[in-house]
Amino acid sequence: MARVFSGIQPSGGMHLGNLLGALRSWVAYQHEHDAVYCVVDLHALTTAPDPGELRDNTVAAATMLFSAGIDPDRSTLFVQSALSEHAELAWMLECTVGFGELRRMTQFKDKSDRSEFVSAGLFAYPALQASDILLYDTDLVPVGDDQRQHVELCRDIAERFNRRYGDTFTMPAHAIPETGARVMDLQNPGDKMSKSLESSGTVGVLEEPESVTRKFKRAVTDSDNEVRYDPATKPGVSNLLGILASSTGRSPRAVAGDYTRYGPLKADTADAVNELLAPIRERYAELSSDPGEITRLLSTGADKAREVAAATLERARDNAGLIPRSPT
Ligand code: AMP
Ligand code: TRP
């Protein structure tokens, strides 16, 4: 069975972009693939979050994944820092990737432009991500469009390591959904939707239905009053069409044919999104009443993950010439 691996940062609440661009396909993959999913708390450390918040957000992210439909009997879900293998292989991969390659990453450029303090960890972030992926002999990495460059770099790293030290890693490919891969901000449709949930351009997965409806009603469109799917010249309207299409399993162009005015398009998009979010919100409320159960599920997940990760790390260590930890 082909293996799927993906990760999500525990940084605040999840938004509609995370759900449509990533989580929904994660849930779908677990039925026909060996699915491994990870809350990447070590990646979150790159931007020095408050420790209490990081702790809460890690449990909240796992709760959200289970609520969105990740089934602990079908998938392996765990927290990255529970396995020391991730950080250990990341070091070996940092020694495999070039400074220039890391410097070209657009996510690094964006994040470092916006922060006062730029950690070495933020720079090396894609090597840790490559470690996550390669430890599990991953075939497919379902992510939103913004992660395409990181997965491509992971392939380059795997190839270089295999060339230098002999066949060690499986070559992964990204799997980017056709709709929902780029959910844009409702107020600034030139920017992707991101985790600033106070913003009226971002829709939180746990947001109240009235608030969701209000945000769609106020979504920025344009003044030519024509419903047409054309992300380049009509980003606001195309984003609404993309969200409605992705929420209902249709194509944005087909959806566009049903509308002549912006008002009904906004109202129907809000309704479709609320319908999608309602059961997730309900399950989240149920599951959060028992955080002990979440940590128990995560610990079982970590045990399953370790079996695969430890063997891959051992192979990488041996091929690179690190002597065994203990005599064999
Ligand atoms: P992050 O929230 O950055 O940890 O991203 C988690 C997953 O959600 C990744 O697979 C991203 O590609 C995806 N994602 C984040 N923002 C968006 C967005 N605005 N549209 C589509 N996918 C997204
Ligand atoms: N960098 C990814 C993001 O911001 C999260 C991530 C970490 C990830 N490790 C991964 C995604 C491994 C896929 C595979 O969304």
Burial of 141: CB neighbours in 10 Å, binned 0-12, 13-18, 19+: buried
- 133 Cβ inside 6 Å of ligand 2: yes
Residue-averaged pLDDT of the chain: 96
- 266 Cβ inside 6 Å of ligand 2: no
Region for 69 from its dihedrals, namely left if φ exceeds 0, alpha if ψ lies in -120 to 50, beta otherwise: left
Average pLDDT in the 258-279 region? 97
pLDDT in tens, 3-25: 999 999 998 789 999 999 999 99
| Nearest ligand to the C-alpha atom of residue 5 | 2
Nearest to 140 by CA among 167, 176, 182, 105: 176
* Residue whose CA is at the smallest distance from ligand 1 atom 15: 18
3-class DSSP state for residue 140? strand
* Rounded distance between C-alpha atoms, residue 53 and residue 56, angstroms: 5
pLDDT in tens, 169-223: 999 999 998 888 899 999 999 999 997 756 899 999 999 999 999 999 999 999 9
For the chain, give the percent of residues with pLDDT over 70.
99
Which of 38, 46, 147, 169 most suits a substitution to test ligand 2, by most atoms within 8 Å of the C-beta?
147
Average pLDDT in the 69-83 region? 98
Q: Phi, psi at residue 256, to the nearest 5°?
A: -55, -35
Average pLDDT in the 215-241 region? 96
First to last CA, the chain: 32
For the chain, give the percent of residues with pLDDT over 90.
92
* Rounded distance between C-alpha atoms, residue 29 and residue 23, angstroms: 10
The radius of gyration computed from the CA coordinates of the chain, to the nearest angstrom, equals 21
Which of 26, 78, 132, 140 most suits a substitution to test ligand 2, by most atoms within 8 Å of the C-beta?
132
Which of 16, 18, 128, 179 most suits a substitution to test ligand 1, by most atoms within 8 Å of the C-beta?
18
DSSP letter string, 187-201? S-TTSB--S-TTSTT
The whole-number pLDDT of residue 12 equals 78
The whole-number pLDDT of residue 11 equals 81
* Rounded distance between C-alpha atoms, residue 268 and residue 1, angstroms: 39
| Angle between helix 262-288 and helix 51-68 axes, rounded to 10 deg | 110
Which residues carry out catalysis? 111, 192, 195
- 80 Cβ inside 6 Å of ligand 1: no
The whole-number pLDDT of residue 101 equals 98
The alpha carbon of 309 and the centre of ligand 1 are apart by a number of angstroms equal to: 25
Tokens of 294: 């979440």
The whole-number pLDDT of residue 197 equals 58
Whether residue 316 has pLDDT greater than 80? yes
Residue 298 neighbours by CB distance under 10 Å: 20
Contact call for residues 239 and 186 (beta carbons, < 8 A): yes
**Would you say how long the chain is, in residues?**
328
142 DSSP β-pair partners: 175
- 143 Cβ inside 6 Å of ligand 2: yes
pLDDT in tens, 131-160: 999 999 999 999 999 999 999 999 999 999
Nearest to 7 by CA among 153, 106, 134: 134
pLDDT band at 327 (very low <50, low <70, confident <90, very high): confident
The alpha carbon of 322 and the centre of ligand 1 are apart by a number of angstroms equal to: 36
227 Cβ partners below 8 Å, 6+ apart? 237, 241, 256, 259, 260, 261, 262, 265
pLDDT band at 310 (very low <50, low <70, confident <90, very high): very high
Q: Against a cut of 0.85, is the pTM above it?
A: yes
The alpha carbon of 218 and the centre of ligand 2 are apart by a number of angstroms equal to: 31
| Nearest ligand to the C-alpha atom of residue 125 | 2
Spell out the alpha helix ranges (H) of 184-261.
209-217, 235-248, 252-256
* Residue whose CA is at the smallest distance from ligand 2 atom 10: 7
DSSP letter string, 17-67? HHIIIIIHHHHHHTTTSEEEEEE-HHHHGGG---HHHHHHHHHHHHHHHHH
The whole-number pLDDT of residue 326 equals 83
* Residue whose CA is at the smallest distance from ligand 2 atom 3: 8
| Nearest ligand to the C-alpha atom of residue 17 | 1
- 183 Cβ inside 6 Å of ligand 1: yes
- 61 Cβ inside 6 Å of ligand 1: no
